[in-house]
Amino acid sequence: MASIFFSVLLALSVLSSPFLLNANAHTKLGFSADLIHRDSPKSPFYNPTETSAQRLRNVVHRSVNRVVHFNGKDASVNSPQTEITSDGGEYLMNISLGTPPFPIMAIADTGSDLLWTQCKPCDDCYTQDDPLFDPKASSTYKDVSCSSSQCTALESQATCSTENNTCSYTLSYGDKSYTKGNVAADTVTLGSTDNRPVQLKNIVIGCGHNNAGTFSKKGSGIIGLGGGSVSLISQLGDSIDGKFSYCLVPLSSENDKTSKINFGTNAVVSGNESVSTPLITKSQATFYYLTLESVSVGSKSIKYPSVSDSYGSSGKGNIIIDSGTTLTMFATDFYSELEDAVASSIDAEKINDPQNVLSLCYSATAKLNVPVITMHFDGADVKLDSSNAFIQISEDLVCFAFRGDDQLAIYGNIAQMNFLVGYDTVSKTVSFKPADCAKM
């Protein structure tokens, strides 16, 4: 997907003194960050002329488009990189590359791996508002060789130049967007709200010299937070014990509180009300797969299909958890049964969504007695609040934040809001704990 698996403006609060960290060192880290939604006034994507309802409607449309990009219908099934979305995600990350630090703003994506940005010289690049990164201006930048482990980690995404033994990469996205350039290693600096930045040495990055497609001029690349070997999470590795977590403030929150992302010792999710479910590894290591057994609406339990379906999600690891997709997506037949159960529990007149994106909607002025919806993951029951189930997408319309889609099953971010969601890529678990994210 392209991305946590939201886009993130990252301002880190590091709980230690300033230091330089080699990404391969065994130094243990614990730090936290603010996640700023792309529609926040703090985001470069913010459009002050849009109403709150228009922004919510746009969120829904981006969510639907992200699934199309995930699927990559025109892409080879043997090329995992083709199933990444080029401009997905709901959060931005503000980091710096090189020495001296050069700030970039990029989409933070739990659905992709490589951290890449547009670089000088740009032979054929999309229009970008911010200046381009100049690798020649960084004293710590170095291209990696074809025989290096950094190059081989990219597998089919990497190619080699016989002239200078330099490793190159090509990433093609489901919507035919692409980025091509040099595989390099450089220092990555994560900005800090308390002016104590974390600097990570020798991080593998992509320096894009030929990039085109649907990328936004507001961003300057993608920061991969997926499960693959070259993602930022994997490169931080032992230093964060493979742990990160986030707590997402509801979209309806009218205060100025931001969501949070945590790494390492700060990312542990434990204590009362915390539940954990296995993180399933599949051939596409980028994505975080969980196993959904059933969904209950009040006392009615609806078993999630265990037989193979058109999008190949059956048995263990039948749903992707993604912070960059707003809606929760289920196979059409299962979704229809779920919608019927929810609708039969609500005593109100249904209203059609004029844009036909969501199929269960009510008047925003209606008093809805939303039934308790519980997601029954393998070993973890996650009870949703009404704000996890319904979203107001216009001034007069409230809709069920789930959708039928036979391309992919995705557990989206609305269902995750006001939960502390922790990923442990070493113990292979994802944990959930109810929380008031605005107070964290």
339-393 per-position pLDDT tens digit? 999 999 999 999 998 888 899 999 998 889 999 999 999 999 999 999 999 988 8
β-strands 158-160, 167-172: how paired? Answer: antiparallel
347 belongs to the catalytic site: no
Domain annotation covers residue 350:
yes
Domain annotation covers residue 203:
yes
Q: Using an 8 Å Cβ cutoff, are 248 and 416 in contact?
A: yes
109 belongs to the catalytic site: yes
Per-residue confidence at 321, pLDDT binned at 50, 70, 90?
Answer: very high
93 and 217 belong to one structural domain:
yes
Least confident of 72-86, 167-181, 336-350: 72-86
420 and 371 belong to one structural domain:
yes
187 and 310 belong to one structural domain:
no
184 and 328 belong to one structural domain:
no
Return the pLDDT at 219: 75
344 and 386 belong to one structural domain:
yes
126 and 175 belong to one structural domain:
yes
Name the one residue in this structure whose structure tokens are 């849009």. 50
Is the pLDDT at 26 greater than 90? The verdict is no
226 and 281 belong to one structural domain:
no
Is the pLDDT at 439 greater than 70? The verdict is yes
Domain membership of residue 353 as a residue range: 268-434
Altogether, the residues listed in the chain come to a count of 440
Domain annotation covers residue 296:
yes
Set 109, 143, 241, 424: catalytic member: 109
Most confident of 4-8, 49-53, 168-172, 372-376: 372-376
142 and 212 belong to one structural domain:
yes
358 and 422 belong to one structural domain:
yes
Is the pLDDT at 313 greater than 90? The verdict is no
Return the pLDDT at 70: 58
266-289 pLDDT tens trace: 889 999 999 999 999 888 888 999
Domain count, the chain: 2
Of 307, 309, 312, 317, whose CA–CA distance to 377 is shortest? 317
Set 87, 143, 322, 405: catalytic member: 322
Domain annotation covers residue 93:
yes
Distance of CA 314 to CAs 12, 318, 319, Å? 38, 5, 8
Name the one residue in this structure whose structure tokens are 């199309």. 68
224 and 299 belong to one structural domain:
no
Per the structure block, which two tokens stand in for 176? 């035919």
The CATH number of residue 292's host domain is: 2.40.70.10
Domain annotation covers residue 134:
yes
Rounded CA separation 224/21 (Å): 19
Backbone torsions φ then ψ of 169, nearest 5 degrees: -130, 155
